[in-house]
Chains A and B, each alone.
Chain A
């Protein structure tokens, strides 16, 4: 915590120069507030990740946000049934920009072993996903790896990603309204 990596600065006496974009991106990456959407065994692994052994807090993720309004990262861990899909989509829509999605485990990523009429075959059918973590369930190390990949994205993305045509068309393809325009 506290060390801002990949941030090029010019230090001088009494001043420090960098680009605002890089400073903001670093600040965002080191304080990603996660919203756990945990439904099954991947959720248990995620809880272990949050706990003192693996300690997500060292990534600036001390506070789990159980309100989508104050969350930056939606972590979907577990099987999502088709009946739950609209709920997940609504939670995603309620999150304020900028927002990222981490899909934890085989079920959230692809339906996993549950190739059946009642299970959503991957959450990317209803919401866009930034990083997929494989595993059934993935170990905490893998989840942390996924979260660090999210951090890389946050650090290197444009601060105004949400205004890009690519992002707009992505949301459009999911029929999600972009309220940030």
Chain B
């Protein structure tokens, strides 16, 4: 089905509204991907939802990525948004450093973000300011690290019966 919006149209409109807070615009596999200022995430997502032309008012997914070699921008927070009215999908990315893994929560814009933000916190240690209940959701509460960060082994650390040479450790 055809979309009512083009990638160029949306990118242009966002750039006009937020100027230098839009860091980069890419279209991998024809999927508009926009990197934005982490401090402006909340405002941009709110504006996208309320803007009468774009009406990008559905949060499909939200998650984190760890790029350990990306100095100063180790963590990405990725939002997948959709406009049901215009049949248009948009990916928003924001980067934060490992020293300051905080962004604003969007729970008051999208209630569905509640558990997704908790999951992102659970696995990456990214804290969402303003979240009503910022605690682990999937892992045991007593876990003392964030398992999806690449400095931690995927394997269980307590096994002693495996020869590392045969298990790629």
> Which residues of B (108-125) have their CB < 8 Å from a CB of A?
none
Q: Does A116 contact B (CB under 8 A)?
A: yes
Chain A positions within 8 Å of B159 at CB level: 111, 115, 121
Chain B positions within 8 Å of A115 at CB level: 155-156, 159, 162, 167
Chain A positions within 8 Å of B156 at CB level: 111, 115-117, 119, 121
Chain B positions within 8 Å of A83 at CB level: 138-140
Q: Does A149 contact B (CB under 8 A)?
A: no
User: A117 touches which one: B155, B162, B167 (CB < 8 A)?
Assistant: B155
Chain A residue at smallest Cβ distance from B169: A115
Q: Does B152 contact A (CB under 8 A)?
A: yes
Inter-chain contact B140/A82, CB cutoff 8 Å: yes
Tell which of A111, A115, A117, A121 has the most Cβ of chain B within 10 Å.
A117
- What is the minimal beta-carbon distance from A27 to any residue of chain B, in angstroms? 39
**B-side interface size class:** 10 to 19
- What is the minimal beta-carbon distance from A109 to any residue of chain B, in angstroms? 12
Q: Does A118 contact B (CB under 8 A)?
A: yes
Chain A 79-119 interface mask (CB, 8 Å, partner B; 1/0): 00011000000000000000000000000000100011111
Q: Complex Cα distance A116/B157, Å?
A: 8
Label chain B's interface by main secondary structure.
loop
Inter-chain contact A121/B154, CB cutoff 8 Å: no
Inter-chain contact A117/B147, CB cutoff 8 Å: yes
Inter-chain contact B140/A117, CB cutoff 8 Å: no
Chain A positions within 8 Å of B153 at CB level: 117
Chain B residue at smallest Cβ distance from A81: B140
> Which residues of B (142-164) have their CB < 8 Å from a CB of A?
143, 147, 152-159, 162
- What is the minimal beta-carbon distance from B151 to any residue of chain A, in angstroms? 13
> Which residues of B (84-139) have their CB < 8 Å from a CB of A?
138-139
Chain B positions within 8 Å of A119 at CB level: 156
Inter-chain contact B154/A116, CB cutoff 8 Å: yes
Inter-chain contact A118/B162, CB cutoff 8 Å: no
Q: Complex Cα distance A117/B143, Å?
A: 10
Q: Complex Cα distance A116/B158, Å?
A: 10
- What is the minimal beta-carbon distance from A80 to any residue of chain B, in angstroms? 12
Inter-chain contact B139/A116, CB cutoff 8 Å: no
Q: Complex Cα distance A119/B140, Å?
A: 11
Q: Complex Cα distance A115/B162, Å?
A: 10
Do A118 and B147 form a contact, CB below 8 Å, given A82-B140, A83-B139, A83-B140?
yes
Chain A positions within 8 Å of B143 at CB level: 82
Going nearest first, the 3 A-B pairs with the smallest beta carbon separation are A83-B140, A117-B147, A115-B155
Extra pairs beyond A118-B139, A118-B147, A121-B156 (11, CB < 8 Å): A82-B139, A83-B140, A111-B156, A115-B156, A115-B167, A116-B155, A116-B156, A117-B153, A117-B154, A119-B156, A121-B158
A-B contact pairs, 27 of them (CB 8 A): A82-B139, A83-B138, A83-B139, A83-B140, A111-B156, A111-B159, A115-B155, A115-B156, A115-B159, A115-B162, A115-B167, A116-B154, A116-B155, A116-B156, A117-B147, A117-B152, A117-B154, A117-B155, A117-B156, A117-B157, A118-B138, A118-B139, A118-B147, A119-B156, A121-B156, A121-B158, A121-B159
A residues with a Cβ closer than 8 A to B are 82-83, 111, 115-119, 121
